[in-house]
Chains A and B, each alone.
Chain A
Amino acid sequence: MSAFSKKRWLLVGMAGLLLAAPAVFYPVFLMKLLCFALFASAFNLMLGYTGLLSFGHAAFFGGAAYVTGYLLQSQGVGTLTGIACGVLFALVLGALVGLLAIRRQGIYFAMITLALAQMVYFLCLELPQTGGEDGLQGVPRGSLLGLNLSNDLTLYYVVLAFTGAGILLIWRTIHSPFGRILLAIRENEPRALSLGYDVARYKWLAFVLSAGLSGLAGALKTLVFKFATLTDAHWHQSGEVVLMTILGGIGTLTGPLLGAATLVTLEDQLADKVGSLVTVILGATFVICVLLFPRGIVGAASEFIERLLGKSSPPPLP
């Protein structure tokens, strides 16, 4: 069986599982998983395929969550328009932040995105439209194409469709010529530059795309929970999405999905068991992950399998 068809079977299997999942699991929990899976995948587009660590992605996620929530709640727009405006906001914000941030690399890039995201956080806190610490509460879900979204199951399939489309877009991007150039930049920026590619422009485009998809995740999250709160825009959220991606495996398509699933489940399950130690456990997961599997679960697993099969050594780290 060729690798391609194996992958296809895997995809079909996964799709089947996702379609049937609400029969076993709690739909709202699943939707949260999906939102964060999309968020982590969008983030991975930056870190994994461009090599830039953004520490401010909460600004796009939370910003879009607020915009969508505000429009649905106070302006009475349709659900689709609300989501679209949230994504648009994230795109524009991403374009602006990107313009400033891509002037620097590595650690500077991380700090700049962090600081700019902090400004968005303050806006979310202080603007009269956002409800301050209470956030926006009771956002109506509305309906989409005649489907009443107040039913969790219906919404689950809608969110699944959106998330699927988002991840498909990422997949297409990575396997397009554009994605190849991004990889080239990640591996050796001076060489890409000397080949005549406008490196800054490519990075910027990737950043904007990543921001927009993070915004989609945020907008969907508002729809699922019917609220947008400061947590969505806080820098801990930015840290969490980094953790999801690293935990799952940077630069792999399945890694962020797995990382998001692990972390969301962990947080959900730990809440009533360890109480206040949850931050310590998350932090320790971070440390252990960086120390022991810098390539994440997927990276470590594939390395293990390859070693079992006696294949070649793993590719270098990003």
Chain B
Amino acid sequence: MIDIFGVPLLALLGQMLLGLVNGSFYALLSLGLAVIFGLLNVINFAHGAFYMMGAFAAWGLLTWTGIGYFGALLLVPPLIGLLGLVVDRLLLKRIAHLDPLYGLLLTFGLALVLEGGFRYQFGVSGESYEVPESLQGALDVGFMVIPKYRLWVIVVSTLVCLSTWLIIEKTRLGSYLRAATENPTLTQAFGINVPLMISLTYGFGVALAGLAGVMAAPIFQVAPLMGSNLIIVVFAVVVIGGMGSILGSVVTGLGLGLVEGLTKVYWPEASSTVVFVLMALVLVLRPAGLFGRSA
């Protein structure tokens, strides 16, 4: 068997596949952040909290109404999106005229409130969510035995990311969106309801976080703080990818998942810091990020 730096190739492939699973979550979350940032110029610190709420919503649907995983997959994102709409209308709109930094601060406060509230209600160790019946068990893909559910995560999130990209780049709605990003005043003059579009965009970005939450529920413990540690890594992903392109955030997310997976094999102690080291490197070499347009 071929060894790469002392690790069998097949084992390495398996680890890379696992890395892609984590990368899928990074991609979904950073995509949401990028979409929101594009139009609102706000870094949504509450993104991790919405992700957490997505997971809790899936758990709640199952526990209280008996609606299972696939139902949650369809219901939860619009639900979280709706909540996002409300947040935008009630809170973010009021500070839209201020420096974008206030948006970061507002959403930071919001994240504290949401996480604190869930912590108060559900305790910290959280709740457990089963893998749906039809996706249980594992698949032998030749080099490893991987749980079906993990493959499902990779497939679904890639599909979602790609279709989001297609919508934004190829459809009429997407062109309005891009126009509003470039020049809101002018777009408004063409009769397009920009404030509504902004609210919808925030709702959509947040819905993506909710979707990621539902998908994470069967793998990770559904816990109030599940988003707060993830979000900082996702910030680093966003910095590395640069805010310029939608595709960039997706590719960077998946790529960093891979890199992190490989680090776990060779130097596990460093796996949580490797993303930040990469970020520092990228900043030195390409301050605008890998896919970013320089400001």
Contact = CB atoms under 8 A, between A and B. Distances in A.
Interface of A: 53, 55, 100, 103-108, 110-112, 114-116, 118-119, 122, 126, 235, 239, 242-243, 246, 276-280, 282-287, 289-291, 294, 317-318
B110 interface: yes
A115 B43 CA distance: 14
Nearest to A107: B43
Contacts of A284: 109, 113
Interface stretch (B66-74, B92-100, B174-182): B92-100
B105 A115 contact: no
Instruction: Tell me if B's interface is mostly helix, strand, loop or mixed.
Output: helix
A116 B116 contact: no
A283 B91 CA distance: 14
B194 interface: no
A110 B115 contact: no
Contacts of B109: 243, 282-287, 289-290
Contacts of A107: 37, 41, 43, 100-101, 104
A55 B238 CA distance: 16
Given A103-B287, A317-B99, A283 B235 contact: no
Question: Which of B104, B105, B114 has most A Cβ within 10 Å?
Answer: B105
* 8 closest Cβ pairs, A-B complex: A286-B109, A283-B112, A279-B116, A283-B113, A280-B116, A287-B109, A103-B287, A115-B236
User: Chain B contact residues (Cβ within 8 angstroms of A): what range?
Assistant: 35 or more
Nearest to B112: A283
A111 B236 CA distance: 7
B95 A122 contact: no
B272 interface: yes
B104 A279 contact: no
A105 B239 CA distance: 12
B273 interface: yes
B83 interface: no
Contacts of B114: 283
A284 B109 CA distance: 6
A116 B269 CA distance: 17
Nearest to B42: A107
A111 B117 contact: no
Interface stretch (B128-136, B202-210, B275-283): B275-283
A283 B107 CA distance: 9
A119 B273 CA distance: 6
B232 interface: yes
A53 B106 contact: no
Contacts of B104: 53, 55, 107, 110
Contact of A287 (B110, B232, B238, B295): B110
A246 B101 CA distance: 11
Given A276-B120, A277-B120, A287-B113, A294 B102 contact: yes
Nearest to B94: A291
B115 A118 contact: no
Given A235-B232, A276-B120, A110 B101 contact: yes
Contact of A106 (B101, B112, B273): B101
A291 B239 contact: no
Contacts of A278: 116
Contacts of B43: 107, 110-111
B108 interface: yes
B283 A112 contact: yes
Contacts of B272: 122
5 contacts: A107-B100, A118-B273, A283-B114, A285-B109, A287-B91
A242 B232 contact: no
Given A111-B235, A115-B232, A283-B116, 12 more contacts: A108-B239, A110-B43, A111-B238, A112-B239, A242-B108, A280-B112, A280-B117, A282-B112, A284-B113, A286-B112, A317-B98, A317-B99
Contacts of A106: 99-101
A115 B235 contact: yes
Interface string B251-277: 000000000000000000100110111
Contacts of B112: 239, 279-280, 282-283, 286
Given A100-B283, A115-B232, A239-B108, A280 B273 contact: no
